[in-house]
Amino acid sequence: MVGSGELLVILVVILILFGGKKLPEFAQSLGKGIREFKKACYGEEEIQEKKEESSIDKQLTKQTTHPPADSL
């Protein structure tokens, strides 16, 4: 496994090699590639269903974790 120190060294080397301006572009293209890969593997319908399920889960956790303002 990669430890936190090793991960930090890797990130510093990447920052030195690519520079600060190229990293956001690289991260954006990496994200697009991952989304396209998921679409190709699972199909777009399953990904959409997972997004809907996660948004419902988020709504439920928001409702259960925050007490109403009247009770304060």
Instruction: Look at residue 25 and tell me if it is in a domain.
Output: no
Range of the domain at 37: 33-63
Low-confidence ranges of the chain (pLDDT < 70): 44-48, 60, 62-72
Domain total in the chain = 1
Instruction: Look at residue 17 and tell me if it is in a domain.
Output: no
What is the predicted pLDDT for the residue at 62? 66
Number of alpha helices (DSSP H) and beta strands (DSSP E) in the chain: 3, 0
Instruction: Look at residue 46 and tell me if it is in a domain.
Output: yes
Instruction: Look at residue 45 and tell me if it is in a domain.
Output: yes
What is the predicted pLDDT for the residue at 23? 83
- Kindly state the tokens that stand for 36: 């396209």
Q: How far is CA 67 from CA 11, 59, 64, in A?
A: 40, 14, 7
What is the predicted pLDDT for the residue at 22? 85
DSSP letter, residue 71: G
Instruction: Look at residue 55 and tell me if it is in a domain.
Output: yes
Instruction: Look at residue 37 and tell me if it is in a domain.
Output: yes
What is the predicted pLDDT for the residue at 9? 92
Instruction: Look at residue 56 and tell me if it is in a domain.
Output: yes
Instruction: Look at residue 52 and tell me if it is in a domain.
Output: yes
What is the predicted pLDDT for the residue at 54? 77
